[in-house]
Structure 1
Amino acid sequence: MPANSAVPDTVSLVVTAGKYIASFIPGFPSATHTTHVRMQCAPFRYDMNTSNITASIEQLSPAYFALIMATGIISIAGLLFGLKEFASLLLLVNLISYVLLCILYVYRYVKYSAKVVDDLTDHAKSPGFLTFVAASNVLGVQFLLIWNDVVTAKILFMIGALSWVLLIYLFFSLVIVKQEKPSIEKAISGVWLLTVVSTQSVSVLMTQLSGHIPFPVEWTLFSSLVFFLCGCMLYIIVITLIMYRLVFFTLQAEQFAPPYWINMGAVAITTLAGSLLIHRHAESALIVSLLPFLKGFTLLFWSIGTWWIPLVFILGIWRHWVKKIPLEYHPQYWGMVFPLGMYTVSTVRLAAAIDMPLILKIADVFVVIALVVWGIVFWGMIITLFRVFFVTRDP
């Protein structure tokens, strides 16, 4: 694990950023006006807005498990940089969020099954269901690394692996047999790369559970390698379609949503999966024979991810500063947090895998960026949920 002199400032950066963002939220207490706002709010009471809650569950995005993915990888990044208490706290937050979201999705399936079916057959929304796979596996990695809880990690791995089989083949089957299909500019986006992220998440947790599950280590690592290579091929296919859509079709500012950051995030988790296999290569004769190929392929994907960062950043500036799209909380912003955290973690693991400590300097910068962005998005989510679920009334 790298030593990082910038880490002690990370928490203060997150707090400062949170206060800064809060100062722009109308009616929200700032750090300097807490007493004044409390006095103003004293005559009011907050009542739960049940109609808003019902409507929100009905319209719940299939991709909301990206919250678990993002928080989980930020937690793991914190652990790698020595913030163990912070990592443990985020694991607790993630566990609660995971359980609550599972309950909400089951309720939505029972209560609004027609909406769920519509989402499953929607080219633009259906890949979002794969966030459940990645979320389960990322949470499993958290339990394994932070709390050393192998049993829970194995349970989450089984959930993640089985749901991957169900959801990825269901997704491709439904969009293939669908008779009325949308044009490519309306159908495809960075969300489609969740096919890659979910596949590589299975590889990541499987590799780290090697030796703990009731299968020979050689077989486990071989299976993990197969998932890794499938994820690589899926990325090559999907990113080609995404580049075709971006370059040859008109892109409205509203269409360049935060999930396009997954263009980078998908190769970041691919890098992580490859780096972990390199680390365990001595336990598999096959991986030993493939080691030069595996190192080169893993470095290739990290390089592609690094290339994407300036481009998506420039397009983000174009969206918000040039085209004046307001910065408001949306669940899709978790699709931006996850790639930033994953790029940080994958860079740390790659540095160890190929013995290239120089690139740790990049991780030192990105861990701070990822923590600050996570704090801002999490803060925005809390404020948005409060406003949606509660109304103020005169006494």
Structure 2
Amino acid sequence: MTVVDFVLSRARHLNPGSFAMVMATGIVSIDLDQHGMRALALTLFGVNLVAWLVLLLLSAVRLLRFRHELVADFTNPGRGAGFLTLVAATCVLGSQCLMVVHLPELARALALLGALLWVALIYLFFAATITARIKPGFTRSINGGWLVAVVATQALAVLMTLLLADDPSARAGWLFGALCLYLLGAALYLLIITLVVYRMVFFPLRAREFTPPYWIDMGALAITTLAGSLLVLHTPATGPLHELVPFVKGFTVFFWATATWWIPLLVLLEIWRHGWRHVPLRYEVDDWDIVFPLGMYTVGTYELAQALQLDFLQVIPAVGVYVSLLVWALMAGGALLREYHGFRVGGRRRPLR
């Protein structure tokens, strides 16, 4: 198998949610930087920038060469939401450019790109889902992956708030926009999670159907916590939006508490899936949907403790940083082994010429 064949094969079968790897790596990098592990945080920033560029190139190749497969994925309600990981990954990388390294110009460019992608993809996804003539049914359509719509929205809110914090002279209208995105993300969560929980509770859920994207049930809450905490920290003490800070504080604590509630349940379901039902532990691209929520919960809790001056909460990120790093390392190792094995197997099967 030549390199060109390998690239074309990867582009054709690219998972719509592949950018979750960039989301996970980015948030773990931010997590490490918050806890003084700067060298490792910078290393992951470099890895993440390369990964984002490679996945963007593969996505472009897929759009140009394999448009039919791409459209089929996008119009599939069970897979289409995965394309929104591109928005979230772009914004998380932009946040790294401000929280890990200081590259404000690159952060602004990524914010603009993220905003354009958000407008295009979120409306196209919901429009395609609503207008589809043939629908696969409720249980085959809805899953935790739909909550990437919330993650993408809040990731943009986070990046906008960080840009305003980096440049206080920016217009207050941008802060209002970040606040509106935060509230929109909260509204989308309440709408979508109702459907997800209804599917989980009132319809049979086989162990193989409890896939990693269900961890976004918690991850969407964690990034909402981060967005709210940053708004509290960076809203000016004087101005028209200052009066809304107490409301944002209460709402943010509400989402953090709900995220905390989800974690033991998700762990129990993983034990049921792998320990009781014996679903094999095998790397999948969707496994990054576990890493991202864990890292985001740690970062969100860290910023919440700062925003509300609750020092006792810092014990959670002090432990969580090592948990998220360990899980990231396991997933990265699994991804590398799978790619190496795929290349070797493809090479052996290629006929001689």
Q: What CA distance in whole angstroms lies between the structure 2 residues aligned with 1:190 and 1:169?
A: 19
Q: What CA distance in whole angstroms lies between the structure 1 residues aligned with 2:297 and 2:248?
A: 18
Residue of structure 2 aligned with 1:298, choices 252, 270, 288: 252
Name the structure 2 match of 1:365. 319
Offset, 1:312: 0.5
Residue of structure 1 aligned with 2:72, choices 92, 113, 118: 118
Query: The residue matched to 1:285 in structure 2 has which SS?
Result: coil
Query: The residue matched to 1:319 in structure 2 has which SS?
Result: helix
Contact 1:140–1:205 (Cα < 8 Å) also in 2: yes
Q: 1:259-338, aligned counterparts within 5 Å?
A: 259-282=213-236, 285-338=239-292
Contact 1:53–1:388 (Cα < 8 Å) also in 2: no
Judging changes above 3 Å, is the alpha-carbon distance between structure 1 residues 180 and 299 closer, same or farther for their aligned structure 2 residues? Answer: same
Name the structure 1 match of 2:333. 379
Name the structure 1 match of 2:98. 144
Name the structure 1 match of 2:351. none
2:174 is aligned with what amino acid?
T
1:258 aligns with 2:215: no
Offset, 1:293: 1.0
Provide the alpha-carbon RMSD of the alignment: 1.6
Q: 1:122-201, aligned counterparts within 5 Å?
A: 122-201=76-155
Offset, 1:261: 0.6
Q: What CA distance in whole angstroms lies between the structure 2 residues aligned with 1:348 and 1:301?
A: 14
Long gaps (5+) in structure 2: 349-353
TM-score between both structures, scaled by the size of structure 1: 0.85
Judging changes above 3 Å, is the alpha-carbon distance between structure 1 residues 212 and 320 closer, same or farther for their aligned structure 2 residues? Answer: same
Equivalent pairs: percent with the same residue? Answer: 43
Offset, 1:250: 0.1
Contact 1:267–1:301 (Cα < 8 Å) also in 2: yes
Name the structure 2 match of 1:87. 41
Offset, 1:292: 1.5
1:96 aligns with 2:50: yes
Q: What CA distance in whole angstroms lies between the structure 1 residues aligned with 2:17 and 2:145?
A: 9
Long gaps (5+) in structure 1: 1-46
Larger radius of gyration: 1
Q: How far does the alpha carbon of each residue in 1:293-349 deviate from its partner, in whole angstroms, 9 at most, with x for none?
A: 111000000000000000010000000111100111100000000000000000000
Contact 1:120–1:171 (Cα < 8 Å) also in 2: yes
Q: 1:37-76, aligned counterparts within 5 Å?
A: 54-76=8-30
Judging changes above 3 Å, is the alpha-carbon distance between structure 1 residues 216 and 151 closer, same or farther for their aligned structure 2 residues? Answer: closer
Query: The residue matched to 2:236 in structure 1 has which SS?
Result: helix
Contact 2:16–2:83 (Cα < 8 Å) also in 1: yes
Contact 2:8–2:61 (Cα < 8 Å) also in 1: no
Query: The residue matched to 1:390 in structure 2 has which SS?
Result: helix
Offset, 1:362: 1.2
Contact 1:48–1:389 (Cα < 8 Å) also in 2: no
1:261 is aligned with what amino acid?
W
TM-score between both structures, scaled by the size of structure 2: 0.95
Q: What CA distance in whole angstroms lies between the structure 1 residues aligned with 2:51 and 2:211?
A: 24
Aligned length: 347
Runs of 4+ aligned structure 1 residues displaced above 3 Å come to 47-56, 211-217
Q: Which structure has more RCO (C-alpha within 8 Å, separation ≥ 6)?
A: 1
